[in-house]
């Protein structure tokens, strides 16, 4: 049997209970006008993480295929055994846990993978809070961190998402407080030659981080499309951020008759006082398509081998990728000429493996990301890009010098309004060696901003995906409540800390913040 060790963490900090107090270089006087910070702080000299209970999986309640392993082959387990059988959506293990004091707790599901990366759902009292991840094939810790539990009895469940794990036990531990400095961001862009307008936008983003949430919405037909019209109809407000995609400018799609309009939509929205973010569903070159051409960004629709290309073993493939990058650079240059800075999120969700740029593993991906960064910033002189990295796994991180903001894409299910604090903290703590802003760059349902403030999950932005996440199929301008109910949508958009386009300052004149002195400059 493997003996558990008591987890100990010692810090000296001022503990933030609700919200951060500001950014590292000082507060810009343009930020957060007519707002009041809701901050409560207490002084703590040391923090020692303590275990408040260990619950063996073989003694928990199960549903579906979940069962105790009859002939244990794994080593290092605790208690009398461990369980398996997370194979169907109905497969669940539920622990009954008693909490003596209201507060934040870490949930450690000691588990092992049956092969490869595995994510599974965690719920507390039937409310889904997030997922835990395990990849090791021997028993290891898998945490959902900073879960708020009131004193009393709770049912904590692990249920099948990807499934296929062995589960040893659940341990509940006190959670480390969040130091207010956690939200302090230096106003330094990765591209030291960024334009003044880009610096102005980034300074604003730094100044509001930890205090405000930027509202965002993807809409491939621009600010007058159905998703934006629904937001306006239901809330009376316009999202601060417009999410767009360069997909239709990709050569293999143009070859099949696609036309792109996103560049014009971006210019119009910026001119109307909004902020623009772009992703790029990069359709592989036609020579590598093996499925439907319009699915060419998916790994299963192409036989492109990025590893061979990046190793120089497929020179034709390299030339075709450079051609594609050049096509998108043309659009980015148009945005530069129009004075539009953008939150640029290329090669997203790589670690999932479902897109071809992630199918060859992290090393090939990082080489492509760095190549893309160098080609756009150095060769094309694109100084209007704020680089948002969205690889979603520390092993895939290309380096701080290529990243300005970290993005997470989360689709937790229908009407799941929890803050996703565990994912937020994982991204903020485990990817970068520096402190970076963390954005929710794609989401299905919205999170409850009250819960986000309570938990400390101060996502700098959310950006809801389009189509069924907002609109009903049968009525173009009618809200679909499948993922976010109308009452929650209104609550979030009416929150004093949620910024819409109507709340944004004039970003063309916003003060540029110096990370060294904290003083803005015109």
**CATH topology (fold) of 51-174:** Jelly Rolls (2.60.120)
pLDDT band at residue 476 using 50, 70 and 90 as cut-offs: confident
3-state DSSP of 401-420: HHCCEEEEEECCCCCCCCCC
The rounded distance, in Å, linking the Cα atoms of 350 and 344 is 15
CA 378 to chain centre: 28
pTM (two decimals): 0.86
For residue 131, the surrounding DSSP H or E stretch is: strand 127-134
Q: Which residue has the tokens 């970068």?
A: 432
The rounded distance, in Å, linking the Cα atoms of 265 and 299 is 29
**Superfamily name with CATH number, domain 195-511:** Glycosidases (3.20.20.80)
Catalytic residue among 84, 171, 442, 511: 442
117 has pLDDT over 90: no
What angle, 0 to 180 degrees and rounded to 10, lies between the N-to-C axes of helices 486-494 and 226-235?
Answer: 80
Instruction: Report, as an integer, the average pLDDT of 440-464.
Output: 98
345 has pLDDT over 80: yes
> Is there a catalytic annotation at residue 442?
yes
pLDDT at 17: 33
User: Beta strands 83-84 and 152-159: pairing type?
Assistant: unpaired
Give the start-to-end residue ranges of the domains of the chain.
Answer: 51-174, 195-511
With a pLDDT cut of 90, the percent of the chain lying above it is: 86
pLDDT at 46: 83
> Is there a catalytic annotation at residue 349?
yes
> Environment class of residue 131 by beta-carbon count within 10 Å: exposed (0-12), middle (13-18) or buried (19+)?
buried
Reference 136, options 111, 99, 161; nearest CA is: 111
Catalytic residue among 184, 227, 349, 511: 349
pLDDT in tens, 16-57: 333 333 333 333 333 433 333 333 344 445 889 999 999 999
pLDDT at 8: 36
Tell me what the pLDDT averaged over the chain comes to.
Answer: 90
pLDDT at 10: 32
Q: Which residue has the tokens 């904290």?
A: 518
pLDDT at 518: 42
Window from 28-42, 273-287, 454-468, 493-507 with minimum mean pLDDT: 28-42
The rounded distance, in Å, linking the Cα atoms of 493 and 296 is 36
Reference 508, options 269, 264, 199; nearest CA is: 199
The rounded distance, in Å, linking the Cα atoms of 22 and 209 is 7
């Amino acid at each position: 049997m493997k003996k558990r060790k008591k987890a100990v963490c010692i810090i000296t900090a001022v503990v933030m209970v609700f919200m951060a107090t500001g950014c590292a270089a000082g507060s810009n006087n343009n930020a957060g006008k007519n707002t009041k910070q809701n901050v409560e702080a207490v002084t703590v000299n040391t923090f020692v993480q303590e275990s408040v209970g260990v619950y063996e999986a073989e003694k928990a309640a199960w549903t579906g295929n979940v069962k105790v392993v009859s002939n244990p082959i794994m080593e290092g387990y605790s208690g009398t055994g461990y369980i398996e059988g997370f194979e169907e959506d109905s497969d669940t293990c539920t622990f009954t846990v008693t909490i003596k004091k209201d507060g934040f707790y870490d949930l450690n599901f000691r588990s092992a993978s049956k092969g490869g990366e595995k994510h599974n759902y965690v719920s507390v009292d039937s409310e889904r809070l997030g997922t835990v991840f395990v990849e090791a094939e021997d028993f290891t810790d898998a945490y959902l961190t900073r879960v708020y539990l009131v004193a009393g009895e709770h049912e904590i469940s692990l249920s099948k998402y990807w499934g296929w794990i062995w589960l040893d036990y659940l341990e509940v531990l006190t959670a480390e407080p969040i130091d207010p400095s956690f939200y302090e961001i230096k106003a330094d862009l990765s591209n030291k030659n960024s334009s003044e307008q880009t610096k102005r936008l980034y300074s604003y983003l730094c100044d509001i981080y930890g205090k405000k949430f930027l509202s965002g919405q993807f809409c491939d037909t621009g600010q007058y499309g159905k998703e934006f019209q629904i937001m306006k109809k239901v809330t009376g407000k316009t999202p601060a951020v417009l999410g767009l995609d360069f997909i239709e400018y990709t050569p293999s799609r143009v070859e099949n008759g696609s036309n792109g309009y996103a560049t014009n939509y971006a210019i119009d929205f910026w001119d109307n006082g909004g902020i623009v973010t772009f992703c790029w569903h990069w359709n592989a070159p036609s020579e590598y398509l093996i499925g439907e051409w319009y699915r060419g960004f998916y790994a299963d629709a192409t036989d492109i081998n990025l590893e061979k290309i990046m190793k120089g073993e497929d020179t034709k493939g390299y030339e075709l990728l450079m051609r594609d990058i050049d096509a998108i650079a043309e659009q980015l240059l148009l945005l530069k000429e129009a004075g539009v800075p953008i939150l640029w999120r290329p090669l997203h969700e790589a670690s999932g493996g479902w897109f071809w740029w992630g199918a060859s593993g992290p090393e090939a991906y990082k080489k492509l990301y760095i190549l893309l960064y160098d080609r756009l910033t150095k060769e094309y002189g694109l100084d209007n890009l704020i680089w948002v990295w969205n690889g979603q796994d520390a092993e895939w991180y290309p380096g701080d010098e290529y990243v300005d903001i970290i993005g997470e894409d989360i689709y937790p299910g229908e009407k799941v309004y929890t803050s996703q604090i565990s994912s937020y903290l994982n991204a903020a703590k485990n990817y970068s060696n520096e402190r970076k802003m963390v954005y929710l760059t794609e989401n299905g349902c919205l999170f409850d901003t009250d819960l986000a403030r309570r938990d400390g999950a101060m996502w700098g932005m959310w950006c809801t995906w389009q189509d069924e996440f907002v609109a009903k199929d049968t009525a173009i301008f009618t809200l679909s409540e499948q993922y976010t109910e109308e009452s929650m949508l209104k609550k979030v958009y009416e929150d004093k800390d949620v910024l819409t386009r109507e709340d944004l300052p004039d970003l063309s004149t916003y003060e540029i913040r110096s990370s060294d002195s904290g003083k803005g400059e015109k």
